[in-house]
Amino acid sequence: MSELLENQEILSAWDWGGVVAGVLPYGEGHINATKCVYVQTSQGGSRRYILQKINTDTFTDPDGLMENICGVTEYLRKTLAAQGLDADRGTMQVILTTAGRPYFRAADGGCWRVYAFVEDTICLQKVETPEDFYESAVAFGNFQRQLAGYPAATLHETIARFHDTPNRYAMLEKAVAADAYGRVAEVAKELAFVTARQSDCHYMTDLLAAGKLPLRVTHNDTKLNNILMDKTTRKGICVIDLDTVMPGLAANDFGDSIRFGANHSAEDEPDLSKVNFSLPLFETYAKGFMQAVGDAFTPLEKETLPWGAKLMTLECGIRFLTDYLEGDHYFHTTRPGQNLDRARTQFKLVADMEAAWPEMAQIIKKYS
C-alpha cells in the first residue's frame, strides 16, 4: 500500500492512535499531493486521516499558510460550537505533529500536514443535481458570513496577486513572448479571444483600487470539489482546501463557483459542444449564496456578482492557457493537451455568459 508506508520519517511525525495499515493517493485536487492514511486503532476500530504534501512551489511560505488555516479553522470551530453545531464535521481540523507543530518538514524539505478525515461525506467533481449546487452555495455563503468578523489583516497572502486578473493577463503575454514550448501558433484563436477582453480584466480591480469594493476574508478557490457534503442529507457541511483563504473580493468567491459548477461538463471536456453555461444553475447558486450571505454585502458587491463569474472564468482560462504555453508545470495533468482543453472550456463559458448578461443581472437583482 504505497511507498509512504515504508517512509517512517514522515509517518512517525504523528501519533496515529494505532497502527498505520495503509497509505493511498486520494481525491482529485490539482495542487497538493493528497493521501488517505488508514489506521487500525488500539481499540480494534479503524480510522482515516488526510495526509497532504503541501505544494511548496505554489505555497512558498508554509508557516504563514498553516497559521492562516489554523487561525480560520479554530475560529470556525468556536463559532460553530457557540451555535450548538457539530464543529467536527463543520470545519477542518489540523492534527498537530507529536512535536506540536501544524506541519512536518522532512529531511528532503517536503512539508506534510494531517487533517481529521470528515467521514460520511461525498465530494462532487461536477454538479449532479441543482439541489447539490444550491447546498454548495449555502455552504460557501455561510463560510463567508461566518468569517465576516475574522481579522482579515492578520491573514498572510499565501499566493501574491492570486486573483489579480490584469496581472494574469500580463503573465500570459509573457508566456506568449517566450513561447518556450513552441505552442503559440496552435492557440491563435484562444489568444484572440483573450486579447479582445483585455479591458474587461481591469473591471473589478479598478473598483477595488477606487475604494468602491471592500476586501473581505475569502476562500478564493470555491470549486464544488472543495466542499464536503453529507452522504445522507447531501447538505454542504464542510468547506475544505483552505490554502487560498486570504483577503479578497466577495464576487470572486461567487464567481469561481459559477465558473466550475454552472454547467454540465467537466472542466477539461475536449468536446466544446457539451460545454454550455447554465442560466438555471446560475440562478440556483445565486439564490443559495445570497440567502446565506444575507445583508452582509454592499449594493455594489451584489451588482458586480456577474462580473465575478465572468472574470473568474476568463482568468482561470488565462491561467490554464499560460500553463499550457509554459509546459504544464503548474496544474497537475494526466494527459497531453489537458490544460488547453481546460482553457477552451473556460472561454466557451465566458462567451455564453456574455450572451446571457442581461438575464444574469436580472437574476442577481431578484435575490438582492
Enumerate binding residues for ligand ADP (CB under 6 A).
26-32, 34, 50, 92, 115, 117-118, 123, 225-226, 228, 240-241, 243
Backbone angles phi, psi at 223, to 5 degrees: -70, 155
Question: Interface with Mg ion includes 261 (CB under 5 A)?
Answer: no
Here the cell at position 11 is: 509517518
Query: Which residue from 316, 350, 356, 364 is in contact with ligand GN1, where contact means CB under 6 A?
Result: 316
C-alpha span between 321 and 191 (Å, rounded)? 9
- 267 touches which of Mg ion, ligand ADP, ligand GN1, none (CB within 5 to 8 A by kind)? ligand GN1
Report the phi/psi class of residue 249: left, alpha or beta, with left for phi > 0 and alpha for psi in -120 to 50.
Answer: beta
Name the residue number minimizing CB distance to ligand GN1.
30
Question: Interface with Mg ion includes 241 (CB under 5 A)?
Answer: yes
From the CB of 30, what's the least distance to ligand GN1, in Å?
Answer: 3
Choices 142-150, 165-173, 221-229, 350-358 (CB under 6 A): range interacting with ligand GN1: 221-229
- 50 touches which of ligand GN1, ligand ADP, Mg ion, none (CB within 5 to 8 A by kind)? ligand ADP
Question: Interface with ligand GN1 includes 30 (CB under 6 A)?
Answer: yes
Handedness of CA 55, 56, 61, 63 (dihedral sign): positive
Question: In angstroms, how far is CA 93 from the centroid of its own chain?
Answer: 18
The answer to whether the beta carbons of residues 106 and 112 sit under 8 Å apart is yes
C-alpha span between 172 and 19 (Å, rounded)? 48
The answer to whether the beta carbons of residues 5 and 20 sit under 8 Å apart is yes
Question: Mask of contacts with Mg ion, 198-237, x by CB under 5 A?
Answer: ----------------------------x-----------
Query: Which residue from 4, 10, 29, 143 is in contact with ligand GN1, where contact means CB under 6 A?
Result: 29
Distances (CA, A) of 209 to 151, 238, 308: 21, 32, 16
* Pairing relationship of beta strands 227-230 and 121-122 according to DSSP bridges: antiparallel
Q: Is the CB of 20 or the CB of 275 nearer to ligand GN1?
A: 275
Choices 23-31, 164-172, 231-239, 300-308 (CB under 6 A): range interacting with ligand GN1: 23-31
Query: Which residue from 135, 253, 267, 326 is in contact with ligand GN1, where contact means CB under 6 A?
Result: 267
- 124 touches which of ligand ADP, Mg ion, ligand GN1, none (CB within 5 to 8 A by kind)? none
Stretch 85-124 residues interacting with Mg ion (CB under 5 A) = none
State whether residue 95 is helix, strand or coil: strand
Helix (H) or strand (E) holding 311, with range, is helix 305-325
Query: Which residue from 7, 34, 56, 58 is in contact with ligand GN1, where contact means CB under 6 A?
Result: 58
Choices 24-32, 42-50, 91-99, 346-354 (CB under 6 A): range interacting with ligand GN1: 24-32
181-217: b (≥16 Cβ within 10 Å) or e: eebeeebeebeebbeebeebbebbbebeeeeebeebb
The answer to whether the beta carbons of residues 52 and 65 sit under 8 Å apart is no
Question: Interface with ligand GN1 includes 269 (CB under 6 A)?
Answer: no
N- to C-terminal Cα separation, the chain: 52
Question: Interface with Mg ion includes 267 (CB under 5 A)?
Answer: no
Quick one: which of 202, 316, 196, 192 has its CA closest to 259?
Answer: 316
Interacting residues with Mg ion (CB under 5 A): 29, 226, 241
Interacting residues with ligand GN1 (CB under 6 A): 29-31, 58, 221, 223, 226, 241, 243-244, 267, 316
